[in-house]
Amino acid sequence: MLKALGKFFRSDNGTGVLEERFLQDYLNNEPFLSKLEPHVKNNALEEVNVLYKLYKEQREPSFIFTAIQLLHAAKWLSDTDYGNKLRSKLNRLTYKDDYGDPVFDDARAELRRFVQKRLYSIVHAIDGSIDSYYSDCARNCDCEHSLLIQWNDEYEPELDDVCELISETSYLFSNHDIPYSIKEFDSTDPYEYERYVAEMLCLLGWDAHATTGSGDQGTDVIAEKNNIKLIVQCKL
């Protein structure tokens, strides 16, 4: 067993083979990274560097495998043009209740619908694009769950695990430097439009949130900035 692990983790000069391959194939691989949009690439590198630092500190290979899975999930969301749209949609479906606490129920339901509809495409695109060296390595060190999507006893991908992966990856598509265009709103749901307006105000530096939709006396969005309070009524 130790010899088998050595095949994956050690080279003749004592350097970690896994680490070398990871740096070569991902962290220092500009052709791979250039396939991501600039803001996605920057966010991904920031997250991956955190995971790589944890690996360096703890010598725990699961951090590298998690980084690899994240990058492949980001590439799938980018290649399919889903990433920016999904992140924007989930942001619009997240709002604050009457107590000022964020409510994620609608966003979670939308994410689950999104993933369930594309479940096998996601699994094939992510797991199928990872080199067998890494999958063999992950299996040998009992870290397969950190790299590959897991399957349940009924031979189906674990939906909750895929939802969590796509949710975490979608945050890489957050881009607060580029203003959104009103043309990007493509829903006829008035409540979703209120949350969209609140999101746009947040991008402009306001602390804004949509109301809950009942008992708001015509107020759809509340925004505050520099001791100025806005009461907004939205019409779609």
The conformation of residue 110, written as its DSSP 8-state character, comes to H
Structure confidence at residue 14 (pLDDT): 34
Q: How would residue 176 be classed by pLDDT, with cut points 50, 70 and 90?
A: low
Structure confidence at residue 5 (pLDDT): 44
| Residue 101 lies in domain | 2-178
Q: Are residues 99 and 201 in the same domain?
A: no
Residue 111's Cβ-count burial label (10 Å; 0-12, 13-18, 19+) is buried
Residue 193, pLDDT > 70, answer: yes
CB 72 within 8 A of CB 36: no
Higher pLDDT, 95 or 19: 19
Q: Are residues 69 and 186 in the same domain?
A: no
Structure confidence at residue 54 (pLDDT): 95
How high does pLDDT run on average in the chain? 85
Higher pLDDT, 150 or 92: 150
Q: Are residues 211 and 167 in the same domain?
A: no
Q: Angle at the Cα of 71 (from 66 to 75), degrees rounded to 5?
A: 150
* Residue 228 main-chain phi, psi, to 5 deg: -110, 130
Q: Are residues 82 and 160 in the same domain?
A: yes
Q: Are residues 104 and 38 in the same domain?
A: yes
> Alpha-carbon distance 143 to 69, whole Å?
12
Q: How would residue 2 be classed by pLDDT, with cut points 50, 70 and 90?
A: very low
Q: Are residues 154 and 168 in the same domain?
A: yes
Residue 78, pLDDT > 80, answer: yes
Domain end (from 162, 178, 194): 178
Closest CA to 70 of 146, 143, 131: 146
Domain end (from 135, 158, 178): 178
Q: Are residues 117 and 139 in the same domain?
A: yes
* Residue 50 main-chain phi, psi, to 5 deg: -65, -45
Q: Are residues 190 and 156 in the same domain?
A: no
CB 128 within 8 A of CB 148: no
pLDDT tens digit sequence for 52-62 = 999 999 999 99
> Alpha-carbon distance 9 to 2, whole Å?
10
pTM score:
0.76
Q: Angle at the Cα of 61 (from 68 to 151), degrees rounded to 5?
A: 60
Pull the structure tokens for residue 5: 């692990």
